[in-house]
Amino acid sequence: GENVEQHPSTLSVQEGDSAVIKCTYSDSASNYFPWYKQELGKRPQLIIDIRSNVGEKKDQRIAVTLNKTAKHFSLHITETQPEDSAVYFCAASTIGYQKVTFGTGTKLQVIP
Amino acid sequence: DVKVTQSSRYLVKRTGEKVFLECVQDMDHENMFWYRQDPGLGLRLIYFSYDVKMKEKGDIPEGYSVSREKKERFSLILESASTNQTSMYLCASSFGQALLLNTEAFFGQGTRLTVV
């Protein structure tokens, strides 16, 4: 089955700096990679996703890159703000098969 | 707004009890999932269902079963609760049809289960 590894487990950055979270996956058939943000005491919510037919996707201060050859994908947050503080989960799945495998999460702390 | 509602926010049960966790979604989603969330382990899939009465094992199904008698409701059952099942349980649902691109999973607010 699919195995998703996520690093780092914790990340502290100064407000305004960039944050990068990296994930690797094992199943070459995986072709859909969502990222979820979970604020303290709240449910995870999708913030961005990427499909294997593209290498990069941006949404304002958030971007995700995908390297299919190396089987890794990354989340980039620029100009971080205190409200970016949360746990971030990467995930991988295969289109047409609904099982989604999550990484272990990264706790991001943005220091004002 | 999609709503995924879990029946309880907090539960305390005794070892050996049979425990039911209920999840209801109001968006006519085909897919429903049960995860448990533990520190350092992320979200681990217990079971999922892609249609009424259909179920598939996830990565950690041992000690759990599920029931999906109606499209909007997905129940997680702990046949005989044990202390190692103390965890946060999250239900999720997503829209999905055969060959359709995967779509966003919407999560419930979670049930924190403590087994004593």
Q: What is the pLDDT of residue A16?
A: 97
Q: What is the pLDDT of residue B104?
A: 82
Within chain B, which residues score under 50 in pLDDT?
none
Task: Kindly state whether A99 is in contact with chain B, defined as any CB-CB distance less than 8 angstroms.
Answer: yes
Mean pLDDT of A36-64: 93
Which of A30, A43, A51 would best serve as a mutation to test chain B binding (most B beta carbons within 10 A)? A43
Q: What is the pLDDT of residue A81?
A: 97
* B84, B18 Cβ separation under 8 angstroms: no
| % chain A with pLDDT above 90 | 82
- Among the ranges given (A8-12, A85-89, A96-100), the one the predictor scored with the smallest mean pLDDT: A96-100
pLDDT at A2 over 60: yes
Mean pLDDT of A31-41: 93
* A71, A24 Cβ separation under 8 angstroms: yes
| Rounded alpha-carbon distances, angstroms, from residue B90 to A28, A71, B12, B51 | 27, 28, 16, 19
| Rounded alpha-carbon distances, angstroms, from residue B102 to A74, B8, B49, B68 | 19, 28, 15, 21
Residue type for position B37: Q
Closest CB to B96: pick one of A49, A98, A102.
Answer: A98
Q: What is the pLDDT of residue A1?
A: 78
